[in-house]
Amino acid sequence: MTDAWILVGRELRHWARQPFQLIVNLIFPIMLVLMFGYLFGGSMIVPGGGDYKEFLLPGMFAMTMAFGVEATFTAISTDANKGVTDRFRSMPMARSAVVLGRAGADMLDSAANLVVLMACGLLMGWSWHNGPVKAAAAVGLLLLLRFSLLWLGIYLGLLLRSPESVMALQILIWPISFLSNVFVSPGNMPTVLAKIAEWNPLTATVDSIRWLFGNPGGQDSIWLAIAWPLVIIVIFFPLSVRRYQRMSR
């Protein structure tokens, strides 16, 4: 854990010295919220009625967590491509420290993104209505989703090891994120797309946090919102560790 925390500190120093990328990562989801909330919000149908911005913001929180896969993938593949990972392997440090350090840094980054986006939502008129305990539970589900997808990003970064491959990853992440209930209810989609959206792991998290926040369109799907991330962790955590161990031999 000491070695992992040292690598987390390395990432924090990178952010301090090169804050531009961090600022861009914070601004991008805000731009999406403003665009969909104000440009397209008037034409969107909210299930059961209500303000579209209150429907949209929980979905954007979850979508931001999903987009974090790109940042994890890019950081891991860049370090591997530049030989930084090879230098880490030559040092007297725990083999798990590299992936755990990456995980810790990315969770801090995601938490910062979530705080900024929630503050933006409050300024736009969004709020939670079921008290601080359920709001905290919703934030916990969002961070659990991010933690699970983080291991997917680490595994893909170690597997592909090419920063150029991020374009291919974006081609997959964007449609998967949009094919959910983030922007519209699956009930307003064609039948086939609606079925896919209903089984999207993102949909379970969005349903649950809308319900916990007391926002329109929510329903109690907490068991699915917990089960999906746990399944992803069970699959990709050991795959990530095994992949790094193979690289270390």
Position 129 scores a pLDDT of 92
Mean pLDDT value across residues 45-61 = 84
Local confidence band at 187 (pLDDT 50, 70, 90 cut-offs): confident
Q: Where are the domains of the chain?
A: 2-247
pLDDT, position 89? 66
pLDDT, position 94: 63
Mapped onto helix, strand or coil, the DSSP state of residue 51 is coil
pTM of the entire structure? Answer: 0.88
Does residue 248 carry a pLDDT above 60?
Answer: no
Q: What does the pLDDT look like over 221-239, one tens digit per residue?
A: 899 999 999 999 999 988 8
Could you give phi then psi for residue 85, rounded to 5 degrees?
A: -60, -40
146: pLDDT strictly greater than 80: yes
Instruction: Find all residues with CB under 8 Å of 214, minimum gap 6, and list them.
Output: 128, 129, 130, 134
Contact predicate 29/70, CB 8 Å: no
Return d(Cα 194, Cα 179) in angstroms, integer: 8
* Sign of the dihedral through C-alpha 194, 195, 200, 202: positive
